[in-house]
Structure 1
Amino acid sequence: MTRAQTSQAPSVWRQPVRVWAVAFACVVAFMGIGLVDPILPAIADQLQASPVETELLFTSYLLVTGLAMLVTSFVSSRIGAKATLLIGLALILVFALACALSSSVDAVIGFRAGWGLGNALFISTALATIVGAAAGGSGAAIVLYEAALGLGIAIGPLLGGLLGSVSWRGPFFGVAALMAIALIGVSVLLKGDEGPRTPTRLSAPLRALRHPALALLAAAALFYNIGFFVLLAFSPFPLGFSALGIGLTFFGWGVALAISSVWVAPLLTRRMSRTGVLLLVLPLLVLDLVAAGLVVTSPAALVACIVAGGFLLGIVNTVLTESVMEATDLPRSVASSAYSAVRFLGGAAAPPVAALLWHLAGPTVPYLFAAASVLIAVVIIAVGRGLLAGVDGRAADAADEGAAVLVGDAA
């Protein structure tokens, strides 16, 4: 590449204002995933809820998010991406505020379900919007999306810990305020859809799962997400920290996730196939989860496993997302909806199962359950690797582009 060509290469960080508006909203939306982490023990104590009941705050949110993902492309193809984004943001705002004003754990669980509906409308549409509007191609767009995910997951627990040290209601009020800012920003900065729309059939996401490569990736993601959410949702209980201590722990987890998703994953996929990266990193995640189970009685060692897990999760998140985007010739919103619906269902099941296993067999078993689930994901990808040959071939171009931009910016 000549010096002139290098100087004209688009920077992953030089994006239209509308892309940054959506990316900021993504950060706030993803904060909702880890926001309740630091306040789980406080909610269990102050609302007289068992750990299993408390973990349902994750389950209701993720279950509704997953199921609603099946209709998001149907909705957005009829009312447009901007309207879908705004409705999703408005729902998150309303239900976050409702959570803050609740007086029982059942009410919070129910309002978290409504929050999940808004999250589904926003997340799948936001990914397609960023991919379609970002400069630098799909590789750069996915880097931005994963960076937003990482920042949101990192800031969510930190904000939850800071505000949760005052009151368990504080984090919900904080997200409602930030979501109001995001709602205004997207409303003002994102232009309406141009040109005719092509309506998507309601059955499109389910039909998309008939594609072998997409179905295989979704199945692997389902089991992988069990490991993800056991580490995220169950760990606050055995840690035994205050709300701020839990928040700082998972802030470190989220920072590690963001760093690996933005910088490490593209560098790995520049040198290896995507399935090769998955088959390298997922077994490391299995070992990390086993280690977490073995050292669960040592808070310092468990913190180290949590942060290391975040680093590995960031790589897997990016590689799986890019693989799904390249797995079929279907519209990106349809592929994203189908894949996300399946993977969020895995995440929905994990927290209460982990809490129940803790109650029945001790704190080590939930992590072994998570490790076994991720191991199943490894087997799925290893056995079905032949179906992903096209993913490896097509994804390499996007990965090389995204990685080259990142290396250029860092130099």
Structure 2
Amino acid sequence: MQDIPHFAQMQNAIFPFIGSFVFIVLHIYIYKALLKSLSAKLFVRFMWKIFTYFNAISCIAYLFLRNSAYVPQVIYFLLSLCLGITFLFAMAAFLYQCCSIIIITLRTKSARARWRHRTKVSILLLTLIVLVFGTYNGAKKPDIVHINIELEGLNTPIKAAVLSDVHIGGLMEESKVKQIVKMTNELNADMIFLIGDIVDAPLKNVQNALKELKNLRANEGIFYVLGNHEYFHDVENILKELKSFGFHILVNQNYTLKNTLNIVGIADFMGWRVGYLEPNIDEAFKNIDPHLPTILLAHQPKIIDYLKAPYDKVDLVVSGHTHGGQIFPFSLAMLLQQPFISELHTLKNLYQTKVYVSQGTGFWGPPMRIGSKHEITLLELVPPR
């Protein structure tokens, strides 16, 4: 069995160096491909060079300080924002190079020079607008999403609130968690599903913020499954803390709710990488009542690829992990790894399994949302008409 604290330390030690190299390469690309030739004036070029250096250093600082409990929130926000600036400017540089393929077809040199400048300025202005919008969208409170789902075999309506990918730690501090708890309780849900990546920092750094979750209220219980990010921290202590709140911790376990439905929870696929708290479908579905509808809680939507007989009789899968892509066009890359990145879907199998993928209640990395939203979902589960 791999030692989880050692694994987390190893990952946290290596990741900043790899990330730093990537960010250095990205900033060289951004300056060479886009910023350098925005103006022929030496002073303007110098200012763009200073901007590039400052943003690169800020990104590297974020990587090394991301798990520190001593960084002020304002500084942490600015460092996090620099990550988003990098992603947007890299996409802007790539977009300009795509446009250049068309521009080089123009006949005269003066026309090419004129349109190159116009294109660069237009793309830069568009990038700044998107940056402001994305930051506003990431900072505002989560949307409440209502989803109505008919479950075969369900004999009474049930309301379930879904929180996923809160990523407590960093910018998701005590006041933000308190707001999320308040909004969730106002839904008067019968049960609450916590679909992983709830905690994304060492427990000692986020103890007060995490304790806000004790105030969640649901008559039929609160159910938690592991996400991949919990594995990078003191996962055992996180599980113990959440269990002490009275939550149902479903690590390859199931729970039968008053002869109404089965709730199955499975550990995240990260467990296979680290050889600890590994997902085990056999254990998760052991002794469930086959006559009741079944809800499967799993952090990653690709769990559906493992639902083979006799474990394919699942009525609803609830997942998160994807953040809805968080910043477009990364949603396109996410689709290479996951079958769905948001909303409700129906599988073409014998049981017409429904799959709901939350876009996440918080965010990871840059405090931005572009082409996605953070959400608290209320699943209204009803008997078939």
Query: How would you bin the TM-score normalised by the shorter chain?
Result: under 0.3
Give the number of the structure whose residues are more often strand, by fraction. Answer: 2
Q: Find the structure with the greater CA-based Rg.
A: 2
By relative contact order (CA 8 Å, sep 6+), the higher-ranking structure is 1
- TM-score, length-scaled by structure 2: 0.25
Give the number of the structure whose residues are more often helix, by fraction. Answer: 1
